Structure 1
Amino acid sequence: MSFLSPGFLAGLLLLGPVVALYFLKTRPRVQPVPSNQLWRVVLSRVNPNSFLQRFHQSLFLVLQILAIVLAVLAAARPVASWLSGPLTTRIVILDVSASMQARDVAPSRFEAARTRAATLCREAPGRIALYTLGRTLTPLVRAGDSPELAAQAAGKLTPGHQATPDPERLLRLLRDLEGLSPDEIFLLTDTLDLEMPREFMPQTAIRVETFGSDDANVAIVGADLTPDETGRTLDASLSLVSEVSEAIDVGLVLEKADGSRTRLRTVTLPFRGRHTVDLPPLPTRQGIIRLEASPDRNRNPADDQWFFADPGRQPTVGLSAPRGSALFRLPRALPLISFQPVGASLPTPLPDAVLSLGSLPYAARRLPTAAFLPGPRPVVPGGILPWEADHPLVQFANWDAAPEACLRPSPTLPGTPLVEAVGGTLLAEDATQVDGRPVPHVWLAVDPDAPGVQGNFFLPIILFNVLEYLLRDKFPRLAYPVGHPGLAARWKGRPPVTAGWHEVPGHPGQVVGVNLEAPSEARIAPARSRGPTVTQLAGQGTRDLAGSPWPGLLSAALLLLLGEWYLYMRRN
């Protein structure tokens, strides 16, 4: 049994003065009588000032003691599981993101949080549910009456390389749990600083417990791996993040699939932040780039490696253009894609996409396509209108810096405009439904063979964006981040959530490299723990009061006081 207001139990101290006043010896009265012989006989049998004798004869005292005890208990508002109504529902959420593998807490943040999760499951006062938090909330044990089963499931959990959702998205995910009517939610995490609005889920007490004590870390958060023109080596550069306040030396090592290791270089990261490091050519298409640094300044080993592998699956792209066009230089730039010339009729089997300089072949309408349809005149200086930079077709591309000779706006370009200029549209997209699935089409008022475009980065960026947009899940990659749509398409189910080499199901020998989902996981500074909001505490108190017997105790105390008053009036 527990009490909602245990401070009121101090009212039991009132019993002391009541008992003391009742047993104080009374001063005898002097009364003249004819003879004291009779009183001597009475006093020899009953001593009115005897402690035990007064106690046995004091029904009033017993009633007063009981009334005080019941009134104090009612004010303290006792709560007990055997007195309450429906059992409470507890939800435990365990963060399994990459940052939880930091080792500033022995043996790791995740191990400490997993132990805490198992304890919360075993001590659940009623129904218990267990969820994991990665890219989203995933139910592991549905709400039920088996605390030991949930504790065992928590003990078997392993961390992954997902990224923790931002606080706004997490609040939306927690709101989805409201349909379960949970009484309390325990969120076990590390870097997530969850500030809940005052009125958020007022009937659920949400407690955020964070783990971690240090923020020093160095991580590999990205890599640019491109086969050279010969196809024998990879041109490589890494994106590193340092969360150390001073300069730190790190070593970079290449580990091949056969286990052999080669030191690539040692670099100094002079300040906290993001750094780009160029590597010597890599003589393999499958390997691991490992980062080595002092453990006391690199707390999380989960982000110290970058896996890459040639998936061994080449998509095919048809090229409908004159032989001298710049489009036919794509095979050297993208050796993981197979390019083949096409005419009015397409080969069998059909290519995965078609690029065309001019009108598209009619047979290509059912395939993902991109057509270069330049207008009659180049764009006027300063004539490009502002564009939405978040669309995948225009990311990383600066249209204002493109050679004006290759930008020729067209007033008749079909599709939805994405980039417009004075005189017409420069980039547009469209989609058609083929066998119930959307097929993308891209239209560009760009001349890829215009003078002055050679040596400019604009055209390679646009071509890369277009091919990635058309091929989508089939676009070949040497490395995938956790959660990439291409992984889900290849796995036809739940894709891997841990970094490493993973064989594609149903395709023996096809291996993909999977890595950290987002650079944000390199920041391991622990957030502060948070308790329920005032509104949540008030809602919890309301639920607890519904199962408290304090109204009955108070009623019993009042009845005892009335009974004492009645007996007193009868005697007097």
Structure 2
Amino acid sequence: MNFLTPLAFALAVLLPIIVALYFLKLRREEQHVSSTYLWRTLVRDMAANAPWQKLKPNLLLLLQLLFLIILILTLARPFVWGETVAGSHLILVVDTSASMGATDVTPNRLVAAIASARQLVDGLPSSARVTVIDAGAQVRVPVSSASDRGAALAALDALHPGTTGADFASALTLAAAIAAREPDSEIVILSDGHIALPENFTLPSRVQYISIGKENNNQAIGAFSLQTESGGRTLTAFVQAINFGSQEARRRLVLRADGQLLSARDLTLTPSKSQAITIPDLPANMRSFEATLEGQDALATDDNSWAVSPSSEKISVRIVSTGNRFLETALRLMPNVETTVYTPTSNLQSFDSAQDKLPTSNFQLTIFDSVISTGTLPTGDLFFIAPLRSTEFFSVTGRVDAPIATPVVADDPLLRYVDLRDVVIQDATRIALPIWGRAVMIDSKTNAPLLVIGEQDGRRIAILAFDLRRSDLPLRVAFPLLMANLLDALVPGGASGIPANVEPGKPLAITAPPQTTLITVRTPDGQSQTMTPTNGRVVFMQTNRLGVYEIASQDKLLGRFAVNLFNANESDIAPRGSLPIAASAPQSKIENQKSKTEWWQPLAWLALALLVIEWLYAYRGQVARVWNLGVGRLVKRNL
């Protein structure tokens, strides 16, 4: 409790004065006597009638002291720090990511955020409007500019923590657009601060950030994978356990397969460190595996992870080329790849599909090495190397001489363990970056894309802008690593085309076998969704539930995949007191903004009530007589 005018407490000196007056007050009891003449002399001779006699219980004194205490508190203007808004339009951006399920606040962070949001809504004037933005993996606006408080509160109560990170960039961009359309708006962000935003992200100046959460006590499984050993007879599990807390933690790692216990190990996890665990000699005939960290922490969502047995089938790759020993050798050295080389009849930069028909076999990936079909491109995923002509997927705009390959992002998964320093490239095709793709490598001089990857209409596509035979990349250790990473990205999941792991909330493109009319996906909770393939593919969107999914076609199992929360940003639950958001105001970070909520008005009403009670008690005799007189007249009038 704080006070705006603490000098008002100086009036507390009146309290002992009132008590002293009661000590000095003459205390005479009313008695009926025949005459007062003989009593006057006796009373006159008494010295102040013993003023300091023992103080007896007195309700009137108690009421007067309480009134003075409440009056002093009222004049001191007590207040508490809280969150409030000043605008007529409140925009609530509520974080519903996985970390908001942490239980370091009761019952969890999201419920605490909803309680704070409800308090803000209840404190708004009657004419104010409310917008609620659900900042999850998919941004939703359940209520927009609503004057109905009930609808806003119901939308808040319907929120629940997800299993993914939050798309805060989209959520705050939407909030800023709404605030710009309605100038008297204020944005309130309710989150634990674990959000990813672009650099120099800006918002209007009227922004509040309410930090949710208290502790960082959490351990998580950061990775879980299976590898085939002994020619496919056994499996080895690789598990990474991470302690995101600031204290040492003891947890038990339990591994099960198809519900059967296989291993249990006690772990001692060092603060802010990870620990790698290898579990060999696991049976290869099991369908799915589950790793669990037993014990208690603040976030249970990341204590479980799943993995599926690797597929033993090989990836079918078709190479359309006039001859490229480097490319063919790199692919044939991969144990899970089966390559077929097709050479056009004419040694040209392009060929006519009517004359040089591609084999009709169902290849998962087709690589065009410096040649492109002038007809319809084959089905499946595509990889273009040094294309000299535009296609339906990209446009060729010219040439780049002696480009210098530079990664766009230093830690791009496609460039894992790939060192591109000092790679010599004679020339490259200049390609306009397509809307469906992202640049992985660019020319540091012209910013022209050198490696592009993405997805269009359910097909994964990659473009390498330079000819491998006109660079020294194939002579470096980085080349087979780059090809392996590209193959994993273009054909995730190997021959089945089904990746072993899928991020929560991410769509999954599934290639249907020939003559397949229905694809059924069974989710971890036992529900099924049936889809009809279009152009040989279906896209499954409902990957928000953690666990193992099964994909089938006409009762034939096509494969399995696991959905896991391998997200360090969500598992590191330490709340952040500020957000890296540049505001229109001079401040560079949005921090917790507090406001004063005064409590003098209810205290003033309480003081007035005590004063009325004190007066009624002091004159209770007269009040009773007046009351009885009034009641008596009323009774007589009615009679």
TM-score interval for Structure 1 and Structure 2 normalised by the shorter chain:
0.5 to 0.7
Q: 1:452 to 1:208 in 2, by over 3 A?
A: closer
Q: Distance in 2 between matches of 1:505 and 1:141?
A: 39
Identity among equivalent positions (%) equals 22
Q: Distance in 1 between matches of 2:425 and 2:201?
A: 54
Residue 518 of structure 2 corresponds to which residue in structure 1? none
Residue 262 of structure 1 corresponds to which residue in structure 2? 262
Q: 1:266 to 1:467 in 2, by over 3 A?
A: same
Contact 2:245 2:271 in 1 (8 A): yes
Q: CA deviation at 1:159?
A: 1.0
Q: Distance in 2 between matches of 1:492 and 1:180?
A: 36
* 1:369-408 superposed matches below 5 A: 369=383, 387-388=406-407, 390=409, 393-399=414-420
Instruction: Between the two structures, name the one with larger relative contact order (CA 8 Å, sep ≥ 6).
Output: 1
Identify, as 1 or 2, the structure richer in helix.
1
Contact 2:133 2:171 in 1 (8 A): no
Q: 1:88 to 1:246 in 2, by over 3 A?
A: closer
TM-score (norm 1): 0.57
The correspondence for 2:366, drawn from 354, 375, 393, is 354
Residue 331 of structure 2 corresponds to which residue in structure 1? 327
Q: Distance in 1 between matches of 2:160 and 2:454?
A: 43
> What are the superposed Cα offsets for residues 121-176 of structure 1, whole Å, 9 maximum, x if unpaired?
5665333222211246421223323322332333232211222457x776545323
Q: Distance in 1 between matches of 2:271 and 2:457?
A: 54
Q: CA deviation at 1:478?
A: 1.0
Q: 1:324 to 1:94 in 2, by over 3 A?
A: closer
When structure 1 is superposed on structure 2, of 364-373 and 136-145 the one drifting more is: 364-373
Q: Distance in 2 between matches of 1:207 and 1:488?
A: 43
The correspondence for 2:573, drawn from 485, 502, 524, is 524
* 1:100-499 superposed matches below 5 A: 100-118=100-118, 120-121=120-121, 125=126, 126-135=128-137, 137-164=139-166, 172-181=173-182, 183-192=185-194, 200-202=203-205, 204=206, 206-228=207-229, 230-231=231-232, 233-256=234-257, 258-283=258-283, 284-293=286-295, 295=296, 298-309=297-308, 316-319=316-319, 325-330=329-334, 332=335, 334=336, 339-344=338-343, 346-355=358-367, 366=377, 368-369=382-383, 387-388=406-407, 390=409, 393-399=414-420, 411=426, 414=429, 418=441, 428-429=450-451, 439-442=461-464, 445=468, 458-471=478-491, 476-484=498-506, 486=508, 492=539, 494-499=541-546
Q: 1:307 to 1:507 in 2, by over 3 A?
A: farther
- SS of the residue corresponding to residue 467 of structure 1 reads helix
- SS of the residue corresponding to residue 307 of structure 2 reads strand
Identify, as 1 or 2, the structure richer in strand.
2
Q: Distance in 2 between matches of 1:151 and 1:131?
A: 12
Query: Which segments of 5 or more consecutive residues in structure 1 lack a partner in the other structure?
Result: 1-5, 11-86, 374-382, 402-406, 422-426, 537-572
Q: Distance in 1 between matches of 2:209 and 2:330?
A: 57
* 1:54-69 superposed matches below 5 A: none
> What are the superposed Cα offsets for residues 78-122 of structure 1, whole Å, 9 maximum, x if unpaired?
xxxxxxxxx933232221111111111122222322344455556
> What are the superposed Cα offsets for residues 273-321 of structure 1, whole Å, 9 maximum, x if unpaired?
344333335533423221124x2xx221111112234698986422578
Q: Distance in 2 between matches of 1:420 and 1:131?
A: 40
Q: 1:439 to 1:512 in 2, by over 3 A?
A: closer
Q: CA deviation at 1:190?
A: 1.8
> What are the superposed Cα offsets for residues 167-207 of structure 1, whole Å, 9 maximum, x if unpaired?
x77654532332452633332222359999999524x4x33
Contact 2:425 2:470 in 1 (8 A): no
**Which amino acid is 2:262 matched to?**
T
Q: Distance in 1 between matches of 2:241 and 2:573?
A: 15
Q: Distance in 1 between matches of 2:341 and 2:202?
A: 62
Q: Distance in 1 between matches of 2:575 and 2:328?
A: 58
Contact 1:92 1:186 in 2 (8 A): yes
Q: Distance in 1 between matches of 2:276 and 2:151?
A: 47
Instruction: Say what the alpha-carbon RMSD is for the aligned residues.
Output: 5.2
Q: Distance in 1 between matches of 2:430 and 2:490?
A: 15
Q: 1:281 to 1:110 in 2, by over 3 A?
A: farther
Q: 1:115 to 1:308 in 2, by over 3 A?
A: farther
- SS of the residue corresponding to residue 332 of structure 2 reads helix
> What are the superposed Cα offsets for residues 419-470 of structure 1, whole Å, 9 maximum, x if unpaired?
899xxxxx9547999999995333563799x9998xx6x4542222221444
Contact 1:119 1:151 in 2 (8 A): no
Q: Distance in 2 between matches of 1:444 and 1:231?
A: 37
- SS of the residue corresponding to residue 208 of structure 1 reads strand
Q: 1:288 to 1:209 in 2, by over 3 A?
A: same
Q: 1:104 to 1:439 in 2, by over 3 A?
A: closer
- SS of the residue corresponding to residue 255 of structure 1 reads strand
Q: 1:485 to 1:324 in 2, by over 3 A?
A: closer
**Which amino acid is 2:426 matched to?**
P
Q: 1:261 to 1:387 in 2, by over 3 A?
A: same
- SS of the residue corresponding to residue 161 of structure 1 reads coil
Q: Distance in 2 between matches of 1:253 and 1:147?
A: 48
- SS of the residue corresponding to residue 415 of structure 2 reads coil
Contact 1:255 1:262 in 2 (8 A): yes
Q: Distance in 2 between matches of 1:364 and 1:302?
A: 50
Q: Distance in 1 between matches of 2:456 and 2:213?
A: 52
Q: Distance in 1 between matches of 2:302 and 2:571?
A: 7
TM-score (norm 2): 0.52
Q: Distance in 1 between matches of 2:454 and 2:89?
A: 48
Contact 1:189 1:211 in 2 (8 A): yes
**Which amino acid is 1:501 matched to?**
V
Contact 1:480 1:515 in 2 (8 A): yes
- SS of the residue corresponding to residue 276 of structure 2 reads strand
**Which amino acid is 1:189 matched to?**
S
Contact 2:493 2:499 in 1 (8 A): no
Q: 1:178 to 1:493 in 2, by over 3 A?
A: farther
- SS of the residue corresponding to residue 406 of structure 2 reads coil
Contact 1:95 1:189 in 2 (8 A): yes
Q: Distance in 1 between matches of 2:305 and 2:375?
A: 38
Q: 1:311 to 1:215 in 2, by over 3 A?
A: same
Contact 2:403 2:443 in 1 (8 A): yes
